[in-house]
Amino acid sequence: ALESDYVSKNLHRWVDLVFGYKQRGKEAVAALNTFVHVTYEGQVDLDNIKDPIQRESTIAQIQNFGQTPSRLERKPFPQRNVVVALKEKSIDFNALHGLAPLTPPFCIVGAPHRVYLKFSMWDTCRVGMAGQVDSSVGDMCLVKGQIIGVGRTCALILPSKKYYRYGGPNNGISVHHAVGGYKENRVLSIHDDMHRAPISVLKPSLNGLWLVSGCMDSTIRVWKYDGGNMHLQATLCGHDNGKITCIDVSTTFGMIVTGGADGNVL
């Protein structure tokens, strides 16, 4: 917001009030920009106040109201020159370099209201699709230019290029190969009875060492995965009825965020 065109065009007005010609005098009164007199620079000489009570009182006023900054200019500051890259149908290429850091991702430099996306690649998700009645994708990522996607009831383990499948009647999960030619979708291990009801959502950590599972019975469990076995670390409660619908986990901040069918986020 501070780098918007509106702020850039009107920034000089704020500078006039704080540092400029509207800080004092008639212009300050007209702009309703007046403060307690002791806050202005040069208005009080504390060393010459002999009465200790008056001196302490003046210091208390200054500490309470603060101090007005030094006035830098006695005439209006010029308006900032706002650079615009798009001028009708032409582009000012000289403005692009300065505007690049201010442009949001995927937007045209100098024209943040215009989005330009170039078609790069397409693929059909084949991993973790067995048993699904539709072709919806549940998790995906881009690794070294290769798109890896898995089915709706799956979650990717990025470091090892494996994936979890959940939601089955065994109330647990299975671990599969995500890539690897003929090994693709091959079952590596099965972990039964991780919850008392089917698992509704699953979220591995980015490093693949932790796994957080959400259940249809509104419980959340934290697991540590050593590449072969699941070790239960904690069972978390707090959602009232209904299944857990979404989970995110950050090992950097040591934080787990969950959302449930009860409408709460914990």
Q: Output the pLDDT for position 84.
A: 60
Residue 178 confidence class, pLDDT cut points 50, 70, 90: confident
Q: Output the pLDDT for position 212.
A: 95
Average pLDDT over residues 163-191: 86
List the structure tokens of 225: 């995965």
Q: Output the pLDDT for position 88.
A: 57
**Total-model pTM:** 0.56
Collapsing DSSP to helix, strand or coil, 40 comes out as coil
Q: Output the pLDDT for position 113.
A: 63
Closest alpha carbon to 135 in 148, 120, 150, 147: 150
List the structure tokens of 162: 């494996």
Average pLDDT over residues 247-264: 92
Higher pLDDT, 26 or 97: 26
The lowest-confidence range among 131-145, 184-198, 211-225 is: 131-145
Average pLDDT over residues 228-248: 91
Collapsing DSSP to helix, strand or coil, 165 comes out as strand
Closest alpha carbon to 141 in 150, 131, 151: 150
133-167 per-position pLDDT tens digit: 778 888 887 766 677 788 888 988 888 888 899 98
Give the integer Cα–Cα distance in Å for 256 and 61: 47
Closest alpha carbon to 66 in 46, 36, 43, 24: 36
Give percent of the chain with pLDDT exceeding 70: 82
Q: Output the pLDDT for position 117.
A: 61
Give the integer Cα–Cα distance in Å for 148 and 150: 7
Give the integer Cα–Cα distance in Å for 47 and 56: 12
